[in-house]
Amino acid sequence: MSIDVGGTFTDLMVDDPGNAATMFKSPTTYPDPLGGILGAVELAADARGVSVRDLLAQTEILFHSTTRAINAVVTGTAARTALLVTEGHPDILLIREGGRTDPFNYRNAYPAPYIPRSLTFEIPERIWADGRVHAPLDEVAALATIEQLKVKKVEAVAVSLIWSIVNPRHEQRLGEMLEEHLPGVPYTLSHQLNPTVREYRRTSSCAIDASLKPIMSDYLRALKQRLEERGLAGQIFAVTSQGGLVDVSDLAERPILALNSGPAMAPVAGRHFAELEGASTAIVTDAGGTTYDVSLVKDGALPWTRETWLGPIYQGNLTGFPSVDVKSVGAGGGSIARVDSAGLLHVGPESAGSTPGPVCYGRGGTRPTVTDAAVALGYIDPAFFLGGQMSLALQAARDAIQADVAGPLGLSIEEAALSILDLTTEGMVNAIEDITVKQGIDPQETVMIGGGGAAGINAVLIARRLRCDTIIFPDVGAALSAAGAMMSELSTEYSQIGFMKTTAFDAARANAIIAELIGRAQAFFDKAGPGARDQRIDLAIEARYPSQVWEIEVPLRGARFDTEEDVAALIADFHARHTDLFSFRDDGDAVEIMSWRALARCRLSDAKAIRLGDEGQGIGALSHRRMFFRETGMVDAPAYRLEQLPADTEVHGPAIVDSNFTTIVINPGARAVRRPGGHLVVQGAAEERT
C-alpha cells in the first residue's frame, strides 16, 4: 500500500501480488492530514468489500510520503530552535555562501538566517582541521548556555561546531549534556547528519533537521498509532527526497529527508514508463491540484542536485543534502485565475487547494480555477469526476469564469476558459525549458510522461509548444508519486571525510574507511529484515583538482585498493568524469579526495511495475459530449474510457479519454493508442514543422 499526501488530494495505491493494483483518491484534510489518509483507506476497503481493519491487517508494507515537513519550513511553523556554534563563528547562517540573482537591485532585503542570532549561542571550544584540539570544550560555559535555552523555551537544538567532521568529540559531549540537562528536547549533531566540509551547508541542514524533529516526530508517531489502532500490522516506510525509502523511525531521527519527498517519486515511475517505449530521456511531469512538478530522466538516470533551496535561490535556505532534482511551479488544477487592475490575466500561484477547492466542487469556492476552466470547456465530465465519487457544478464554474475573467476581458466564457489554459500552459512550458533547453537538451528528442490528476488537460498543448512528439500517460499516472514509491528501493547513504591526495595515496586508510562504510551499510540491511532483497552497495568518492572549490562524485570500481593499478584506475575515472561534466581534464595534476560515500540499496517488494486492471474491453466511444477547442469551436466529440479501450486501438482528436481519476484531452490533430501494458501513448502531438 502506498499513500501520497498532496496539497489537494491524498492518493492511495494498493498492490495485491498476483492481482491488478487499485487506486483511490480522497481530499486532503487540514490541518490534520490523517483524516484524508484514513478517508482513502476507507474507500479502498469499501471497494474490496472488507472492513478497514481487515484491509490494514492484510497490509504487509505501507509506503508514505507527505508535505508535512516542507509545509512547516515554508510557513514558518517549525519548532523554535537554538543553534550552538564554535565561539567566534555565530554568523554561519547569516553569511551563507554568497550569491545574488539580481546583484544590482539593493531594494531586495538581505535574507534572514534560518535561526535568528537571538537563538544562536557561541560555545568556547576549537578543533583544528587535522583533528587536534586547539581549545578544549568549556563545559561550564556550555552548561550555562543550556540554562539559557531553558529560559528561552527552545523546542529543538542544532549543534554545528567547526571541524567536527574530523574530530566529533566536542559535538558528542554537547549531545550528552543536552540529554542530561535538557531532557525531552530533540537535538541534531551536524557531523552525524551531514559530514561535509562546507560550514554553511552542514549548519543549514543541521538547523533545518533539528527544527523539524518535534513536528515530524509527533506526526509520524500519530500516523503509526492511529493506523495500528485501526488494524495495521505491517511496517511503515517513508519516502525521501533522495528517491528512496527509510523506516519511519529513521525518518523521525532525520526528518530533513522528508523535504520534497513526494515529488521525488515521480521520476522513479516515469523512468519505468519511458523505458517501456524505448526512450532513455524523458520529461516527467506531475500535475496536481496545487503545483506542477517537472524533472528530466536522462539516459535512464534519475536527476540529482546538491543545490536544493527551500524558497528562492540565495534568498531561501539550502538543505545541504543531495536530492532528486524536481522543479515546481505554482500551477495545477486548483490554480486561481484573476484579472488585475491593468486588465492582465493571471493564473496561480495561489491555489484553491482541497478546501474550499475549485468553484465546481461546491464547497464554498468562489474564484475560478484551471479545473473550472476544463469543466466549462466540456473536457471534464461533471457527472464522472473521480469515477463518480463527486459531481461537479458546471453552471457555478461558468458563472465564476464569467464574473472574474470573461466579463472583465470582454470574452465569451469558452474563450476565457481557453485563455486560462493557455496561460497555465505557458508557465508549465517555461518550467520544462529550464530543465531541457537551458541545459542543452532538445525536447524533440525526448518523450513526455503525463503524471498527476490534472496532467491530461493541457499536455498536448505543452507538447506542441515544445515540439515533443510523444506523450505517455501511465494508467497509474494520476497517482504517479504513489506508484513510484512502490517501485523504489529502501536506501540510505553513509559518508565519511577522509582527505588524501593521489600523489600520496594511503591505501590502508582508504581500505579502512571503505570497510567501515560497508559495515554501516550491512547493518542497514540487517535492520531492514529478511525480506530485503537485491541488496547493493554503491561506493564513491568526492574529489577535485587542487585549488578547485567544488568536488565531483566518482564511483569506485571495487571495495579495496590492493595494487597501484587500482589507484591508477581511480585517477583515470576521475579524469573521465571531469571531462564528461566540464569538457576538459588535467592529466598531469593530482587528485584530492575529500570524502567517501556508500549508498546502500535494497528492495522490499517485487513491484518493479504497477498497473491497474481493465474493466472489460469496449468498442468505440462510450459517449459523446460538447467540447470547445480553438481549432473547431464547439463540437460533439467522442469520450472513451481508458480502462475499456482495447489495446492497439487508435483514437483521433478531437476526443477525450477518461479514467476514474483523470481526463486526457486528445486535441484536434493528435492521435492516441493504448498499449498492451495499459498506458496511453499520444503521438503526433507536435505541430507540423515548417
By the 8 A CB rule, do 326 and 243 touch?
Answer: no
CA 3 to CA 61: how far, in whole Å?
11
**DSSP 8-state symbol, 393:** -
Q: Is the peptide bond before 676 cis (omega within 30 degrees of 0)?
A: no
Residues whose CB is less than 8 angstroms from the CB of residue 277 and which lie 6 or more positions away in sequence, other chains included: 447, 470, 472, 681
By the 8 A CB rule, do 496 and 595 touch?
Answer: yes
DSSP character string of 557-572: SSS---SHHHHHHHHH
Domain extents in the chain: 2-72+217-258, 77-213, 265-482+660-690, 488-603
Residues whose CB is less than 8 angstroms from the CB of residue 443 and which lie 6 or more positions away in sequence, other chains included: 283, 432, 433, 436, 437, 466, 467, 468
At residue 53, φ and ψ (nearest 5 deg) are -60, -45
Check the CA dihedral 257-258-259-265 and report its sign.
Answer: positive
By the 8 A CB rule, do 217 and 224 touch?
Answer: no
* pLDDT at res. 614: 67
* pLDDT at res. 490: 80
By the 8 A CB rule, do 485 and 65 touch?
Answer: yes
CA 130 to CA 133: how far, in whole Å?
9
* pLDDT at res. 338: 93
At residue 339, φ and ψ (nearest 5 deg) are -115, 125
CB atoms within 10 A of CB 71: 16
CA 484 to CA 609: how far, in whole Å?
9
Alpha-helix runs per DSSP H in 3-100: 34-48, 52-58, 68-75, 92-95
CB atoms within 10 A of CB 315: 15
Residues whose CB is less than 8 angstroms from the CB of residue 92 and which lie 6 or more positions away in sequence, other chains included: 85, 160, 199, 200, 203
By the 8 A CB rule, do 250 and 114 touch?
Answer: no
Instruction: Give the right CATH number for 2-72+217-258 from 3.40.50, 3.30.420, 1.20.1250, 2.60.40.
Output: 3.30.420
> Among candidates 607, 600, 606, 602, which has minimal Cα distance to 532?
602
By the 8 A CB rule, do 209 and 256 touch?
Answer: yes
- Grid cell, residue 345, equals 490575466
- Grid cell, residue 174, equals 554537547
* pLDDT at res. 560: 94
DSSP character string of 126-162: EE-TTS-EEE---HHHHHHHHHHHHHTT-SEEEEE-T
Q: Is the peptide bond before 356 cis (omega within 30 degrees of 0)?
A: yes
Residues whose CB is less than 8 angstroms from the CB of residue 159 and which lie 6 or more positions away in sequence, other chains included: 83, 84, 171, 174, 175, 178, 187, 188, 189, 190, 206
Alpha-helix runs per DSSP H in 529-658: 564-582
CA 169 to CA 171: how far, in whole Å?
6
First to last CA, the chain: 49
Q: Are both 2-72+217-258 and 265-482+660-690 of the same fold? A: yes
* pLDDT at res. 211: 97
CA 110 to CA 326: how far, in whole Å?
26
* pLDDT at res. 606: 62
SS3 at position 308:
coil
Question: Residue 569 half-sphere exposure, CB side, CA atoms within 13 Å?
Answer: 12
Query: Can you name the residues that pair with 651 across neighbouring β-strands?
Result: 672
> Among candidates 308, 366, 363, which has minimal Cα distance to 336?
366
* pLDDT at res. 92: 95
- The answer for 120, left when phi > 0, alpha when psi is -120 to 50, beta otherwise, is beta
By the 8 A CB rule, do 501 and 31 touch?
Answer: no
* pLDDT at res. 686: 59
By the 8 A CB rule, do 564 and 452 touch?
Answer: no
Report how far apart, in Å, the C-alpha atoms of 401 and of each of 24, 163, 407, 419, 552 are: 30, 59, 8, 11, 51
> Among candidates 606, 670, 609, 666, which has minimal Cα distance to 642?
666
Residue spans of the chain under pLDDT 70: 18, 605-609, 613-621, 685-690
- Grid cell, residue 599, equals 549508498
Contacts of the segment 221-225: beta carbons below 8 A, 24+ positions apart:
221/252, 222/34, 223/34, 223/37, 223/64, 223/248, 224/248
Q: Is the peptide bond before 31 cis (omega within 30 degrees of 0)?
A: yes
Q: Which CATH class, in words, describes the domain spanning 488-603?
A: alpha beta
- Grid cell, residue 501, equals 591526495
At residue 333, φ and ψ (nearest 5 deg) are -60, -30
* pLDDT at res. 688: 45
User: Which helix (H) or strand (E) covers residue 459, if one does?
Assistant: helix 459-466
| Mean predicted lDDT score pLDDT of the chain | 89
Degrees to nearest 5, angle at CA 493 with 489 and 498:
155
pLDDT tens-digit map of 17-61: 767 788 888 888 877 888 889 999 999 999 889 999 999 999 988
Instruction: Give the right CATH number for 265-482+660-690 from 3.30.420, 1.10.3470, 3.40.50, 3.30.43.
Output: 3.30.420
By the 8 A CB rule, do 627 and 637 touch?
Answer: yes
User: Which helix (H) or strand (E) covers residue 64, if one does?
Assistant: strand 61-65
By the 8 A CB rule, do 64 and 238 touch?
Answer: yes
What's at 66, amino acid-wise? T
What's at 671, amino acid-wise? R
CA 581 to CA 198: how far, in whole Å?
22
* pLDDT at res. 315: 86
CA 498 to CA 90: how far, in whole Å?
26
SS3 at position 364:
coil
**Three-state helix/strand/coil letters over 315-348:** CCEECCCCEECCEEECCCCCEEEEECCCCCEEEE
Query: Can you name the residues that pair with 450 across neighbouring β-strands?
Result: 285
* pLDDT at res. 608: 59
